[in-house]
């Protein structure tokens, strides 16, 4: 018996040694910094560094669905290096940036990586996915799956009938003006955003719908803007219900393959198998930049737009007044007064799009805090960096 136990221990140690020898740097980092719980909002900086690059490779933490890329990547040729006039190393260190790309007139003017990340890796999007999800609503309208954004949400998600969402329109979901009460405080473990992903769904009901339909109204629909990740998750359920396809499949069919994303991406799934559409796409930095180029191209692929006429203009125009200091809000896109607009995610994820200058800036990172509301002061410095890039282009 003792020999058998000793042989078993040796085999285990040998297997661990083989795994360690064959594992790439990302997996080794993950083993050394594996989180002890599933709530990303309360992980350490080191744990987030490890997991943000590998969330879709951890089926025991979260399941994911592949967003398939095609065979003809949208070209990203190198352009002349952009003279930024700042200490870029200091800026990336301040942002704890894992990736920073500047694409101007369709050419890469700057590309750099940090946190031991690189161009072949895939980093989590967090709420950058919201802007992609809203774009799929436009695609579903163009395809005839959704009649109008003035339709009631409950027309497409019957399980919301009788709840506070019964008379909320798709437009009001897109602009986060449903009037339904929600707490998005990332530092509060009892907030809705912290609790809803761990909600035990009712039998036969999607997990997001099960949580959201229990929430009370606090204002008339259309009268009050409140940022609500749960409502973007409802938009994802709506698109899937209307199209009869999961979001990953529909995104691959409408944008990822035909526009020419270079790598397969993935989308983290919730408890009942629906993509967490307010969060958690995993993609390369170059493909995040291509999302910006898709928007700059008017949503056109091979000369034909996959979106209704005027959709991008409406989606990227402020619909709600002052959402946050310096920002407006459209259809899940943050807007700026000069016509630029952004997809923004906690911990430093972003796609900045400036149609006037044909400029896209894609960035990933891991700020020490989730957002400025929790004490992160990197956001205003990132906005100042965007302005610096605009000035650098204007002065060429």
Check residue 370 and give its pLDDT: 83
Q: For 124-147, write each residue's pLDDT tens digit.
A: 999 999 999 999 999 999 999 999
Check residue 375 and give its pLDDT: 61
Q: For 24-34, write each residue's pLDDT tens digit.
A: 555 555 544 45
Show the tokens assigned to 196: 């809803």
- Which of 3.80.10.10, 3.40.640.10, 3.40.50.170, 3.40.710.10 is the CATH number of 68-394? 3.40.710.10
Q: For 239-248, write each residue's pLDDT tens digit.
A: 999 999 999 9
Is-contact 166 159, C-beta < 8 A?
no
Q: Determine the Cα–Cα distance for residues 118 and 135; give it in Å rounded to an integer.
A: 27
Phi and psi torsions of 241, nearest 5°: -65, -40
Residues of the chain where predicted confidence (pLDDT) is lower than 70: 1-39, 60, 373-375
Check residue 371 and give its pLDDT: 78
Check residue 38 and give its pLDDT: 59
Is-contact 124 281, C-beta < 8 A?
yes
Is-contact 123 117, C-beta < 8 A?
yes
Q: Determine the Cα–Cα distance for residues 103 and 77; give it in Å rounded to an integer.
A: 9
Phi and psi torsions of 271, nearest 5°: -65, -30
Give the strands of the sheet with 341-345, arranged side by side.
Answer: 107-113, 97-104, 359-365, 349-354, 341-345, 334-335, 328-329
Using CA atoms in the order 26, 32, 36, 37, what is the torsion angle rounded to 10 degrees?
-10
Q: In three state form, how does the secondary structure of the chain look?
A: CHHHHHHHHHHHHHHHHHHHHHCCHHHHHHHHCCCCCCCHHHCCHHHHHHHCCCHHHCCCCCCEEEECCCCCCCCCCECCCCCCCCCHHHHHHHHCEEEEEEEECCEEEEEEECCCCCCCCCEECCCHHHHHHHHHHHHHHHCCCCCCCCCEHHHCCHHHCCCCCCCCEHHHHHCCCCCECCCCCCCCCCCHHHHHHHCCCCCCCCHHHHHHCCCCECCCCCCCCCCCHHHHHHHHHHHHHHHCCCHHHHHHHHHHHHHHCCCCEEEEECCCCCECCCCCEEECHHHHHHHHHHHHCCCEECCEECCCCCHHHHHCCCCCCCCECCEEECCCCEECCCCCEEEEEHHHEEEEEEHHHCEEEEEEECCCCCCHHHCCCHHHHHHHHHHHHHHHHHCC
Q: Determine the Cα–Cα distance for residues 181 and 78; give it in Å rounded to an integer.
A: 47
- Domain locations in the chain? 68-394
Please tell me the number of Cα atoms within 13 Å of 282 on its side-chain side.
Answer: 22
Q: Determine the Cα–Cα distance for residues 254 and 98; give it in Å rounded to an integer.
A: 28
Phi and psi torsions of 105, nearest 5°: 50, 35
Show the tokens assigned to 149: 């954004």
Check residue 323 and give its pLDDT: 81
Q: 85-107: buried (b, 16+ CB within 10 Å) or exposed (e) per residue? A: eeeeeebbebbbbbbbbbbbeee
Check residue 12 and give its pLDDT: 38
Using CA atoms in the order 261, 70, 50, 57, what is the torsion angle rounded to 10 degrees?
150
Q: For 48-102, write each residue's pLDDT tens digit.
A: 999 999 999 887 678 999 999 999 999 999 999 999 999 999 999 999 999 999 9
Is-contact 334 323, C-beta < 8 A?
yes
């Amino acid at each position: 018996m003792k020999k058998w136990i000793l042989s078993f221990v040796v085999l285990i140690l040998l297997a661990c040694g083989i795994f360690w020898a064959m594992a790439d740097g990302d997996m080794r980092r993950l083993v050394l910094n594996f989180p002890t719980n599933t709530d990303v909002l309360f992980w350490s900086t080191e744990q987030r560094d490890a997991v943000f690059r590998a969330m879709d490779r951890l089926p025991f933490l979260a399941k994911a669905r592949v967003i398939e890329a095609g065979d003809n990547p949208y070209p990203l040729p190198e352009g002349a290096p952009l003279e930024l006039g700042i200490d870029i190393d200091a800026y990336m260190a301040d942002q704890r940036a894992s990736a920073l790309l500047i694409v101007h007139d369709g050419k890469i003017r700057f590309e750099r990586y940090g946190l031991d990340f690189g161009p072949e890796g895939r980093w989590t999007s967090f709420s950058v996915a919201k802007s992609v999800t809203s774009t799929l609503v436009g695609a579903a309208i163009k395809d005839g799956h959704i009649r109008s954004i003035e339709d009631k949400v409950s027309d497409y998600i019957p399980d919301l009938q009788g709840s506070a969402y019964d008379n909320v329109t798709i437009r009001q979901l897109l602009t986060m003006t449903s009037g339904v009460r929600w707490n998005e405080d990332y530092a509060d473990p009892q907030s809705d955003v912290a609790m809803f992903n761990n909600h035990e769904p009712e039998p036969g009901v999607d997990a997001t719908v099960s949580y959201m339909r229990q929430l009370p109204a606090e204002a008339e629909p259309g009268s009050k803007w409140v940022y609500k990740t749960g409502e973007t998750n409802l938009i994802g359920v709506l698109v899937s219900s209307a199209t009869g396809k999961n979001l990953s499949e529909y995104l691959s069919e409408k944008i990822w393959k035909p526009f020419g994303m270079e790598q397969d991406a993935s989308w983290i799934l919730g408890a009942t198998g629906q993509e967490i559409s307010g969060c958690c796409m995993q993609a390369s930095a170059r493909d995040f930049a291509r999302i910006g180029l898709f928007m700059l191209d008017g949503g056109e692929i091979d000369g034909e737009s996959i979106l209704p006429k005027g959709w991008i203009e409406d989606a990227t125009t402020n619909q709600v007044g002052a959402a946050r200091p310096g920002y407006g809000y459209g259809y899940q896109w943050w807007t700026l007064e000069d016509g630029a607009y952004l997809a923004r995610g906690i911990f430093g994820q972003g796609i900045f799009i400036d149609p006037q200058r044909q400029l896209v800036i894609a960035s990933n990172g891991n700020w020490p805090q989730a957002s400025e509301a929790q004490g992160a002061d990197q956001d205003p410095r990132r906005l100042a960096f965007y302005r610096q890039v605009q000035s650098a282009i204007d002065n060429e």
